[in-house]
Amino acid sequence: MRRLFTLAVAVVALVMTGGAALAKKYEAPPFVGACGDSSYEDAKAKGITLGISPSPPYSSIDPATNTPSGIDIEIHQAVLDWMGVKTIKYEVMPFGQLIPAMISKRIDIVATNIHVTPDRLKVVSFTGPAWWYGPAIIVQKGNPLGIKSLDDLKGKEVGVVAGAAQDEYARHIGATTVPFQTDAEEFPSIVQGRVKILLEDNVLFYNFIKANPNAPIELVPNVSLPEELILGYGYGYARFATRKEDCTLRAAYTQGLAELRGDGTVSAILKKYGLDPLSNLIYFTPK
């Protein structure tokens, strides 16, 4: 009887998929090494050091009080509270230095949100999803270069943050990248005309325009996002990175993020910073 039921299920599955199994693509592989390491217990006993690259509204440090704040900071604090980690330290550095600092054990987590890309998969592992946002092509007011798509960036000079997902993808599609250490350097550069195009996060563009409403820059509207950009070059979920060997720490972080997405904590943090709790939690589905 069980065999007949199994066969029936298989037939239904084939009918629903048009007679062939559909090959679904996923953004990240399983990060499930042979756990048994002490990284999670070490974090509970000794504390944890988070590496951040200041980039409001993601993360920043008040120089007067040394107090951290931002979307990612509040998510980390909530996750670490769930995990039972009581001592948190912060190291501040340019984004491109975060992964080397983690590998050398200067920090324990890349805590400014980071995305899965082919180059990064070679050297680090990632937590489960934290939240989502999309890419933006930013041009000077009036779009004098006539940029309409990502394909139009081929052969153009494009400003990016060195080591960011945009850097890797822009080079992949044939753009000449102009590297900056932070987005705080990028935006004044395009405003002043030193660079004509930026490939950046839409959240950072909205944050800049909110503070500088008369800035002579704009988004290119209705840009089609290819599947390889979402699933292969860093515009799937924002996550956090761990060392490959820190399996128990990564597992605890991943479960913590899932619990806090589920109970509304992450939604409340996103809403606090002016984001849409629904669209910034739901994964972008390529068409």
Q: Are 220 and 254 in a shared domain?
A: no
How many structural domains is the chain composed of? Answer: 2
Residue 129's SS3 state is coil
Q: Are 242 and 257 in a shared domain?
A: yes
pLDDT in tens, 131-187: 988 888 999 999 999 999 999 999 999 999 998 888 988 999 999 999 999 888 999
State the pairing for strand pair 48-52/109-114.
parallel
Residue-by-residue DSSP string for 24-72: ---SS---------SHHHHHHHH-EEEEE--BTTTBEEETTTTEEESHH
**At 90, which CATH number?**
3.40.190.10
Average pLDDT, the chain: 87
Separation between Cα atoms, residue 29 and residue 116, nearest integer Å: 10
Amino acid (1-letter code) at residue 280:
N
Q: Are 65 and 124 in a shared domain?
A: yes
Binned at pLDDT 50, 70 and 90, residue 284 comes out as low
Q: Are 126 and 210 in a shared domain?
A: no
> What is the pTM assigned to this prediction?
0.77
The residue segments making up the domain with residue 94 are 39-132+236-272
Establish if 11 belongs to a structural domain: no
Q: Are 44 and 128 in a shared domain?
A: yes
Q: Are 81 and 218 in a shared domain?
A: no
Q: Are 142 and 220 in a shared domain?
A: yes
Query: Do the beta carbons of residue 153 and residue 137 sit within 8 Å?
Result: yes
Binned at pLDDT 50, 70 and 90, residue 283 comes out as low
pLDDT in tens, 61-95: 888 888 999 999 999 999 999 999 999 999 999 99
Q: What integer pLDDT is reported at residue 214 of this predicted model?
A: 96
pLDDT at 3 over 80: no
Separation between Cα atoms, residue 280 and residue 204, nearest integer Å: 14
Q: Are 184 and 265 in a shared domain?
A: no
Nearest to 126 by CA among 102, 106, 161: 102
Q: What integer pLDDT is reported at residue 12 of this predicted model?
A: 39
Q: Are 255 and 176 in a shared domain?
A: no
Q: Are 48 and 183 in a shared domain?
A: no
Q: Are 123 and 261 in a shared domain?
A: yes
Establish if 27 belongs to a structural domain: no
